[in-house]
Chain A
């Protein structure tokens, strides 16, 4: 089946990934239909918790050729980003192709996927319908709509209220109460800060510390200058396809990355005053070295004021497990008992692959750390099925836009995939590589984070584009020291492949 002649594509999900895909494929003349189960496009940005917003500076989290307006704050608030996505859908005429309030309930390969895919969907309460597509793109995000709340002994005895952070739409519901927030990721610390403004007391309970990333290094330099340039990229654990230079740097040159990361740790410890102790006397300094810890999914850029709140007591941190609940209290593995009226679980979302039939799931694998894909996009045993958005980076809008361009070029025939065995081998090597050093979690297969530079380079090389994007007389120096951001790829996402 020639990819070029078959142009009917279904996209499931109208979040950032689905929108980037639809926009790119539509511009290339594909007949594209987007199914979205919610009544608004935008995915996670359509409906967030109180005062949610983008973690990174706005020039890092925007479509490469469609910058956010200059009057928008540097850390884009969630509702503002949602507006931007709505405008994007209008500007690039994606909206007429989106079917809102339409849940895809099943997908079925035809002739193993070689003849395309059948998509079954349901709008509201109407009867289910099925349609055939040549290609299918799954852009349903890394997490489901099902909050994850761990099982805790004594839950039935607790007389207070238990909520997930996604239900926290206004801080008023916390007013005057004794609150415990469980978790230490971005949403947990945001919830604790919201609570600290109105609640009677706030406890933040977490079982693992991790390195926070400051908005500005030493309070002055935006973190992108320290973390998103090629020099830093060379100093992290070498990519599985790293060249001779990177291997030398991490072999005989090892003391250089070592001293760099210890300096980074020192800077973070001093900047956040991480020597502060938790209420149960534990250190806030993580055990894992920062160059490994920053590949933990919970890596966060905290809102200013979080660590001050720890110190002035408006948020009381505990490094412990929650071991049980009583009528109006939670008990911790440290032996502490905290009196609380409400518990906010900021413990993430359940993985949900219900959409995938068993035969697809079997081919993707059922490993605890999620499934692994070639280029984070496809499995060679599932032809004409693509995943856009299964690569978590700090610059997802850019990453997903580049993935969408990669897909468009593949479907147009600009490049071909390598042999089946080669792709299988690449997936196996990626598994081995990540499992050797990357911290475990259920979506490790999709985790890219600080390896985003290598990943973007790889994608660009596939369709024959020079991965070095800096221009001008000082381009070689900029390549080394200047941060990479969305605008560096503006011509590529529009299909101008130079």
Chain B
């Protein structure tokens, strides 16, 4: 469990950094608060990803299994 949590959090850090860089650039281009605002939004983005990274990973795995099962179910219904 702890291992799963740490892997999720580590993935959250990576996803958060990538997401934050997009947010930073967009805020800099569109926001009225300049670089301070862009950094603030980017920091929140990383923080949220770190906080929820493990949950996102859990939902992703549940979703992946669900998608696979529903695809198999659909195929079974279509097959004669």
Contacts and interface: CB of A to CB of B under 8 A. Distances in A.
B60 A255 contact: yes
B27 to A, nearest CB: 8
A254 B67 contact: yes
Contacts of B60: 253, 255-256, 259
Interface string B13-48: 000000100100001001110000000110011001
Nearest to A457: B30
Given A255-B60, A466-B32, A477-B48, A245 B22 contact: yes
B30 A466 contact: yes
Contact of A254 (B27, B61, B62, B63): B63
Dominant SS among interface residues on chain A:
helix
Contacts of B32: 466, 498
B61 A255 contact: yes
Contacts of B63: 254-259
A260 B66 CA distance: 11
Nearest to B61: A255
Contacts of B40: 476
Nearest to A474: B44
B64 interface: yes
A23 B13 CA distance: 49
Nearest to A476: B44
Given A468-B31, A476-B45, A255 B19 contact: no
A274 B63 CA distance: 23
Q: Which of A254, A257, A259, A468 has the most CB of B within 10 A?
A: A259
Interface residues of A, number: 21
B59 interface: yes
B59 A477 contact: no
Contacts of A477: 44, 48
Nearest to B64: A255
Nearest to B44: A476
A477 B30 CA distance: 18
B35 to A, nearest CB: 15
Interface string A441-466: 00000000000000000000100001
A461 B30 contact: yes
A219 interface: no
B66 A262 contact: yes
A259 B44 contact: no
A206 to B, nearest CB: 24
Interface string A233-266: 0000000000111000000011111111010000
B10 interface: no
B48 A480 contact: yes
A461 B31 CA distance: 11
Given A243-B22, A466-B30, A466-B32, A259 B45 contact: no
Contacts of B56: 256
Nearest to B41: A476
A324 interface: no
Contacts of A106: none
A468 B41 CA distance: 11
Contacts of B44: 476-477
Nearest to A261: B63
Contacts of A480: 48
Nearest to B37: A475
A476 B37 CA distance: 10
A467 interface: yes
Contact of A244 (B22, B45, B62): B22
Given A243-B22, A245-B22, A476-B45, A259 B59 contact: yes
Given A255-B66, A256-B59, A259-B63, A468 B30 contact: yes
Contacts of A461: 30
Contact of A245 (B19, B30, B31, B59): B19
A173 B12 CA distance: 62
B67 to A, nearest CB: 5
A260 B63 CA distance: 8
A150 to B, nearest CB: 32
A468 B28 CA distance: 12
Given A243-B22, A245-B19, A253-B60, A258 B66 contact: yes
Contacts of A257: 63
B61 to A, nearest CB: 7
Given A468-B30, A477-B44, 9 more contacts: A244-B22, A254-B63, A255-B60, A255-B63, A256-B60, A258-B66, A259-B62, A259-B63, A476-B44
Interface of B: 19, 22, 27, 30-32, 40-41, 44-45, 48, 56, 59-64, 66-67
CB-based closest 3 A-B pairs: A255-B63, A259-B63, A476-B44
26 contacts: A244-B22, A245-B19, A253-B60, A254-B63, A254-B67, A255-B59, A255-B61, A255-B63, A255-B64, A255-B67, A256-B56, A256-B60, A257-B63, A258-B63, A258-B67, A259-B63, A466-B30, A466-B31, A468-B27, A468-B30, A475-B41, A476-B40, A476-B41, A476-B44, A480-B48, A498-B32
